[in-house]
Amino acid sequence: MTRDWKQFFPFLISPFLLLVVWWWVAAAGWYSDDVLVSPGAVVATLEELTANGELALHLKASFFRLLTGFGLGALTGVLFGIWMAISPRVEAFALPLFQGLRQVPTIALIPILILLLGVDEIFKVIIVTKAAFLTVALAAYDATKGVSKNYFEVARIYHLPKTTLYRKLIIPAITPPVFTGLRIAFSRSWTILVAAELLAADSGIGQMMQLGREMFRLDVVMVGVVITGLVGFSIDKLFKWAEIRLIPWQAAVKA
Amino acid sequence: MQNSFYKWIPDWRGWVLPILVILAWDAMSRLDANHAYAFASLGQIWAGVVELSRSGELLVNVQASVQRALTGLLLGASAGFLVGSLVAVSRTANILITPIYHAIRQVPLLGLVPLFALWFGNGDTSKLIVVSLSAFYPVVLSTFEGMLQVDRRFNEVGQVYRLSRWQIYRRITLPAALPQVFTGFSLALAFAWLSTIGSELLFTAGAGLGNLMMNAQEASRMDVLIIVTFVIGVLGYGMSLLIKLASNHLFKWRQVG
C-alpha cells in the first residue's frame, strides 16, 4: 500500500504546480475576469450552480439524452453488427451503404438533422443514437467476423441448435471486443452530445457552457469544462471496471 | 487472373440500398410543399452542385477546410511526436507531463470550444488550436507506446557499442517505433478532419465547409447541406486512403504476409 503511494506520489507534482501557478497568476491580477479566473472563483461558481440546482438540471437533461440515445444505438448496433457478419446476404446488401455512411463524421450531420428535425429533444437523441450505432455495429461486425471459421464448422458437424451456437460460441467470443466498442462509442456519444448542445439546445451541460461563452462568464465555462471532463473520465472508468467484472476471462488474459 | 478481374466489379446487391434511399428521399421531396422544403429533390441538388461550382464557393471552402486540417495535423502531430518521444526517453518528463496530458485529454475536444472562444476569439486561431490538439493526442500516445515497446535487447546492444543517448534514440528507438508512430499519425488525420468540420460549425467566423453548412442551415438550403456533407465524406475518405498508401509504401520492409 505505502509502496503504491510512493510510486504514485511524483505524478501529483506537476498538477499541483500547475494549480499553484494558476492561482498565483490569477491573484496577481494581470488579466481581466473574462480571460482568467482564479481556481477559487471556479469552485465558488461550482458551489453556486450546485446550490441553486442549475447544474443538476443541466446534467439531468444531458444524461437523459445520452442514455436514451446510447441505449438505442448500442442495442440496435450490436444486433445489426452480428446479423451483418453472420448472413452473407445482409452483408452484401448493407455493408457498402454502411461503409459509405461511416466516412461522414457524425458532427457533419448536425446541420442536416437540425433542418429535418428541428432543435428539439429528438434531434439530440438521434445524433447520439447514430454515433453509438455505427461504432458499436462495426465492433460487433468485426468481432463476429473474427470468430474462427473452424468453430462454426464444428458446430455444423455436431448439428448444434442455433440458440446453443449463439449462447456458447458467438456471444462469449465477441463479448470482449464488443465491450471495447461500447466504451469507445460511449465517449464518442458524449463528445457529440456536448457539441450538439453547444450548437442548439435549451438545456444541458453544453448549453450551460454556450451561455457562459455568450455572457463572458469564464467561471461558468470552466465549471462546464471540468464537469464534462469528469463525466467522460468516470464513464470510461466505469466501463473498464465493468469489463473486469463481466468478462473475468479477459482480465485474466490481460494480467 | 479471372478472379482478380471479377473482384473489380462490385456486387450489384450493394447498390440496392443506396439507390432505394436516394429514391425514397426524392419521393419525400415531391410529396407536398412542406416536404419539398425539408427534403431537397435530386434536381435541386444537381442545381445546387452547378451553382456552388460556378460561383467557386465550394472550391474556396474546400480549400480553407483542407488547408486548416493539414496545418493543424502538421502542427499537432509534430508537437505530439516531440512530447511523446520526450516522455518515452526521460523518466522526469514522464512524471511531469503524463498526468497533465491525461487530465486535459478527458475533456471532449469540442467541449473546449467555449473556453477557446473566450480566450482566442471566434476565428481561425481558435479553430487551428482545436484541430492541432485533436492531432496532438493520438500521436503522443502512439509515439510513447511505440518507443516503449522497442525490444530492450536492441538498446542493450547500443549500450555495448557505447552509443550516446541521442545515438540510441536516433538509430534504434526511432526507427523501431516509426510504424506505430505512423499509425498514430493516420488516426490523427481522421481526428483532424473531424475537428476541422466541428470547429467550423462551432466557431462562426471565417471560411470552410463547416461555415458553408451553417449558412446553408440558416437559409434552409437542404440541397447545399447534402452536397457539402457528401464532399466532406469523400475528402475524408480520400485523405485516409492517401495516408494508407503512403504507409504501405514507407513500411514495406515491415509488412508480414
pLDDT digits (tens, 9 = 90+) for B149-188: 888 888 888 888 888 888 888 888 898 899 899 999 999 9
Residues 203-222 of B with CB under 8 A from A: 210, 213-214, 216-217, 220, 222
pLDDT at A173: 87
From the list B21, B115, B232, the residue facing A104 with the nearest CB is B232
From the list B216, B222, B237, the residue facing A103 with the nearest CB is B237
Residue A224 pLDDT > 90: yes
C-alpha cell at B181: 508512430
**Own/partner pairs, A91-100, CB within 8 angstroms, 24+ separation:** A92/B11, A92/B13, A92/B14, A93/B13, A93/B14, A93/B16, A93/B17, A94/B17, A95/B14, A96/B10, A96/B11, A96/B14, A96/B15, A96/B17, A96/B18, A97/B14, A97/B17, A97/B18, A97/B21, A98/A134, A98/A137, A98/A138, A100/B18, A100/B233
Domain ranges of chain B: 41-251
For residue B251, give the DSSP letter: T
From the list B115, B213, B225, the residue facing A225 with the nearest CB is B115
Which among A190, A218, A216, A217 has a CA at the least distance from the CA of A59? Answer: A190
- The amino acid occupying position A192 is I
Confidence of residue B255 (pLDDT cuts 50, 70, 90): low
**CA nearest B105 in A: which residue?**
A229
Query: Per-residue pLDDT tens for B107-116?
Result: 889 999 999 9
A225 and B21 in contact by Cβ < 8 A?
A: no
Query: Per-residue pLDDT tens for B53-97?
Result: 999 999 999 999 999 999 999 999 999 999 999 999 898 999 999
From the list B99, B194, B228, the residue facing A15 with the nearest CB is B99
Residues recorded for chain A = 255
Task: Give the 3-state secondary structure of chain A.
Answer: CHHHHHHHHHHHHHHHHHHHHHHHHHHHCCCCCCCCCCHHHHHHHHHHHHHCCHHHHHHHHHHHHHHHHHHHHHHHHHHHHHHHHHCHHHHHHHHHHHHHHHCCCHHHHHHHHHHHHCCCHHHHHHHHHHHHHHHHHHHHHHHHHHCCHHHHHHHHHCCCCHHHHHHHHHHHHHHHHHHHHHHHHHHHHHHHHHHHHHHCCCCCHHHHHHHHHHCCCHHHHHHHHHHHHHHHHHHHHHHHHHHHHHCHHHHHHHC
B107: left (phi over 0), alpha (psi -120 to 50) or beta: beta
Give the Cα separation of B53 and B227 in Å (integer). Answer: 11
**How many CA atoms lie less than 13 Å away from A103 in the CB half-sphere?**
18
Which numeric CATH code is attached to A38-254? 1.10.3720.10
pLDDT at A156: 86
From the list B108, B228, B237, the residue facing A191 with the nearest CB is B108
Q: In the predicted model, what is the mean pLDDT of residues A213-227? A: 92
B18 and A112 in contact by Cβ < 8 A?
A: no
Q: How many CB pairs below 8 A link A and B? A: 150
B219 chain-A contacts, CB cut-off 8 A: none
A238 chain-B contacts, CB cut-off 8 A: none
Asked if B181 and B83 count as a contact pair (C-beta separation under 8 A), the reply is no
Q: What is the ipTM of this complex?
A: 0.86
C-alpha cell at B168: 540510441
Q: In the predicted model, what is the mean pLDDT of residues A15-28? A: 90
Residues 98-117 of B with CB under 8 A from A: 98-100, 103, 106-115, 117
**Count of beta carbons in the 10 Å neighbourhood of residue B9:** 7
Give the Cα separation of B222 and B226 in Å (integer). Answer: 6
CB burial of A28-46 (b: ≥16 within 10 Å; e: otherwise) equals eeeeeeeebbbeebbeebb
**CA nearest B29 in A: which residue?**
A116
From the list B13, B109, B118, the residue facing A221 with the nearest CB is B118
Q: Which CATH number fits domain B41-251: 2.40.110.10, 1.10.3720.10, 3.40.50.450, 1.10.630.10?
A: 1.10.3720.10
pLDDT at A168: 83
Asked if B110 and A194 count as a contact pair (C-beta separation under 8 A), the reply is yes
CB burial of B134-165 (b: ≥16 within 10 Å; e: otherwise) equals bbbbbbbbbbbbbbeebeeeebeebeeeebee
Residues recorded for chain B = 257
Q: Is B243 on the interface with A (CB under 8 A)?
A: no
Residue B5 pLDDT > 60: no
pLDDT at A249: 67
C-alpha cell at B231: 464532399
The mean predicted confidence, pLDDT, of chain B is: 88
pLDDT at A1: 47
Query: Per-residue pLDDT tens for A81-111?
Result: 999 998 999 999 999 999 888 888 999 999 9
Q: Is B48 on the interface with A (CB under 8 A)?
A: no
C-alpha cell at A246: 463481466
Which of A97, A101, A237, A239 to substitute to test the interface with B, most B CBs within 10 Å? A97
B18 chain-A contacts, CB cut-off 8 A: 96-97, 100
Which of A12, A36, A98, A104 to substitute to test the interface with B, most B CBs within 10 Å? A104
C-alpha distances (whole Å) from A243 to each of A124, A178, A231 are: 28, 11, 18
Give the Cα separation of B233 and B241 in Å (integer). Answer: 12
The number of angstroms, rounded, from the C-alpha of A92 to the middle of its chain's C-alpha atoms is: 30
Asked if A212 and A32 count as a contact pair (C-beta separation under 8 A), the reply is no
Residue B256 pLDDT > 70: no
Domain ranges of chain A: 38-254
Q: Is B70 on the interface with A (CB under 8 A)?
A: no
Q: In the predicted model, what is the mean pLDDT of residues B113-125? A: 91
From the list B103, B115, B232, the residue facing A221 with the nearest CB is B115
B107 and A225 in contact by Cβ < 8 A?
A: yes
Asked if A187 and A232 count as a contact pair (C-beta separation under 8 A), the reply is yes
A209 chain-B contacts, CB cut-off 8 A: 111, 114-115
Q: Is B55 on the interface with A (CB under 8 A)?
A: no
Give the Cα separation of A210 and B101 in Å (integer). Answer: 25
